[in-house]
Each structure stands twice: as structure tokens, then as C-alpha cells.
Amino acid sequence: MSKAMIAVLVLVGLTFLPRSWAVSNAVVGTCRTGTHYSTIQAAIDAADVGSTVQVCPGTYSEILTITNNLSLKGVASGTSDSVIITAPPAGVPANGSSAIWGSLTAQVLVQNATANLSNLTIDGGGGSSCPKGVTSVGVLLQAAGGSVTNSTFQNPPLCLQISALLDHTTNFNFSDNYLRDCEQSCLEVDFGTGTTVKGNDIASVGFTVDGIETQQLAGPATISANVIRGNIDWGIVAQSSPSVTITSNNVMSDLREGGAIVLFATTQAIAEGNHVSAQTMAQPTGKSPNRVGIFLDDNGAVGGNTILNNTVTGGACGLQIHTTNRGDTIAPNTYFNEPQIMCTF
């Protein structure tokens, strides 16, 4: 056999060899037994498909990209269990885009992969300045599956406009997370299907526009047992999305205008068993309060929405509905301390 033929056979054989360099026990730090790495990204790049990258407690100034199926998990060591991911001093460059939000900067980017993130803290601080002219995101998941659980999103300098953005995700689970002081939206879910948002704690002492928002979903979503409190204009918003079930949430927010639960251009949405406290802050002279408990506007959609067994307290109006809505069920609900129980526009 000629040397040329041997060389070809060797190359062909190498083509079909497994990823022998990939590791199944990547560890960031030295708190666990395994193959150790000093950065999270190095461990992600080395990890075998389907494996778990364990991250030891510490602060990691990194921008992360995940494009393979894996789990990224913060682990405890001794008395510490805090794994904090911050922006590097130079900040986060534009590394993604969205049909709704345009150019994006994401501290953690997951694309075309099933990833499970848990026990992590995403911190909007760390950079020398906040991004300009783009939408800044803590975790961006695009064409992804998997989950984000038991994690914290904090935004001390208000650099993160969106804490977590689920864009075209499938069967994604976002549960039992803490989101603090978001600027635009704490959790944004766009274009996806089969999304579960459950048991999250969302709070703002500044001025947040949206607690949880869905837009242009392709399929059903369930938003349940979340707590939303503080200065948030719009608590839970389902917009142009079919079959969104909003149930057993506790929305307690105080601000100038907005709605605690909003169904806009939705079809077959359900808002049931929620507790809403929509207190209105003092308004500027000459301006009337515009805070409502539940807001419903089919806006040309098929309708068929259901609002029942909710408890609404405070606000300028308990339930505000559009006069041209059709096929919607809006009772029974319980109202306390409402200047107007039902308003139409």
C-alpha cells in the first residue's frame, strides 16, 4: 500500500473518531473532583455534549456563549454557594439580534442548543459603562430549549434592560428565579412555544416597565405562582399570543400607570386565580390615576379569553375592557377598594 493511500485512510479514520478531547467532568475552579478550568468559557468549550459543567463559588468577569447541549451549574463549597457572572471591564459587545428588540448585547448567550442553567447569579455590573444604542440582556436564549432555575438576576447600575430574553425557544422552563431592578423587562418571552414560567420572585425599587411579557408566541405558555412587586408599570403582559395561561400569581405593584395583568390581542388566554394589588402612586397636578388591576383588549384578535376567580384590590379601576371585545368570559371576580369595578373604553 502506498504512503499516499495510508495517509488518506488515516485522515478518513480521524474524521470518524469521537471527540476524545471533550471532558465529561469539567469543573471551573478546584472545589470538585474533575478536569479543572480557570474560566467558565474554557470549561464550556471543553465539555462533552450532554455533560454538566460545575462552577465553584466566585466572581467571574466573562461573556459566555453556549452552542452545545449541556448543563451549567453553580455548586457550593464550604459555606459559600455564590457563583456571580459579571460583565468584563470593557463591557459586552453586540453579539445578537432580535426581530423585536434589534441589536443585543448578552452576558450569557445560548443559541441552537438545549442548556440547563442553575444556581447562578447574573450581575449587570462590572463593565466600565452601560451599552449604548443596543438592548442589553443578562441571558439570551435563542432557538434554544432547556431551563433556567434557582438563579438570580441583579442589576445594580441598571445596565441590563432585559434580565432574561427567551427568543424562539421550545418547551423552555424558567422557574424559581430571583429578578431584581430590571429596567425594561425582567423576563421577555418572544415567538416561542411551550414555555413554563413558574415560581419566580420579581421586584423593583426603581422604575421597571414590565415584570413578565410575552409577544408573538407561536404556541401555549403557562405563567403561574410568580410574585411580582415594587415599582413596575405592567406586571404580567400577554401580547399578540395564543393560549397563555396566567394563574395563581401575586402581583403587588405601585406606580403611575399601567396594569397588573394585561391581555392584549390575545386568543384563548386565561387569567384565573390571581391576586392583584394595583395601588396607584400620587400623580402630577392635573393628571388622573391610570392604574388598573386587569386590562383586556382583544384588539382584533379572535378573543375567547377567560378572566375569572381573580381578587383585585386598589387601583383606579378593577377591570378595564374594550367595548368591542367578543366571546370573552370575565366573571366571577372579587374586587376590593375599587373606585370603579369595571371600566370600558
What pLDDT shows up at residue 2? 57
Query: CA 5 from chain center: how many Å?
Result: 55
One domain, residues 233 and 313 = yes
Q: Which of 74, 140, 131 is nearest to 108 (CA)?
A: 140
One domain, residues 244 and 166 = no
Is residue 203 in a domain? Answer: no
What pLDDT shows up at residue 6? 46
How many beta carbons lie within 10 A of that of residue 6, not counting itself?
Answer: 10
Looking at the structure of the chain, the number of domains it has is: 2
What pLDDT shows up at residue 9? 42
Question: All 3 cell numbers of residue 228?
Answer: 411580582
Name, in order, each residue with C-beta under 8 angstroms of 34's C-beta and a sequence gap of 6 or more: 23, 25, 26, 27, 54
Tell me phi and psi for residue 6, to 5 degrees: -60, -45
Instruction: From 192, 224, 243, give the residue that closes a domain.
Output: 192
Q: Which helix (H) or strand (E) holds 277?
A: strand 275-280
Is residue 3 in a domain? Answer: no
Is residue 219 in a domain? Answer: yes
Alpha helices in the chain (DSSP H): 3-15, 40-46
Pair 24, 32: CB distance under 8 Å:
no
One domain, residues 272 and 318 = yes
One domain, residues 188 and 216 = no
What pLDDT shows up at residue 287? 41
Q: Which domain holds residue 110?
A: 56-192
Task: Quickly tell me which residue has 388566554 as its cell.
Answer: 269
- Distance (Å, rounded) from C-alpha 31 to C-alpha 232? 40
Is residue 6 in a domain? Answer: no
Q: Dihedral sign for Cα 265, 103, 98, 45, please.
A: negative
Is residue 264 in a domain? Answer: yes
Instruction: From 133, 162, 192, give the residue that closes a domain.
Output: 192
Is residue 295 in a domain? Answer: yes
What pLDDT shows up at residue 11? 45
One domain, residues 131 and 260 = no
Instruction: From 163, 192, 221, give the residue that closes a domain.
Output: 192
One domain, residues 283 and 324 = yes
One domain, residues 61 and 115 = yes
Pair 329, 321: CB distance under 8 Å:
no
- Distance (Å, rounded) from C-alpha 134 to C-alpha 161? 9
CA-based max dimension of the chain: 94
One domain, residues 163 and 271 = no
One domain, residues 230 and 317 = yes
Question: All 3 cell numbers of residue 151?
Answer: 438563579
Is residue 205 in a domain? Answer: no
Query: CA 246 from chain center: how many Å?
Result: 16
- Stated pTM of the model: 0.90
One domain, residues 303 and 185 = no
One domain, residues 157 and 243 = no
The residues facing 165 across adjacent strands are 140, 188
Is residue 47 in a domain? Answer: no
- Distance (Å, rounded) from C-alpha 328 to C-alpha 319? 13
One domain, residues 171 and 262 = no
The one-digit pLDDT tens for each residue of the chain (345 residues) are: 555 554 444 444 434 434 457 899 999 999 999 999 999 999 999 999 999 999 999 999 999 999 999 999 999 999 889 999 999 998 899 999 999 999 999 999 999 999 999 999 999 887 777 888 899 999 999 999 999 999 999 988 778 899 999 999 999 999 999 999 998 999 999 999 999 999 999 998 777 899 999 999 999 999 999 999 988 889 999 999 999 999 999 998 765 567 899 999 999 999 999 999 876 544 444 444 467 889 999 998 889 999 999 999 877 788 999 888 889 999 899 998 766 788 887
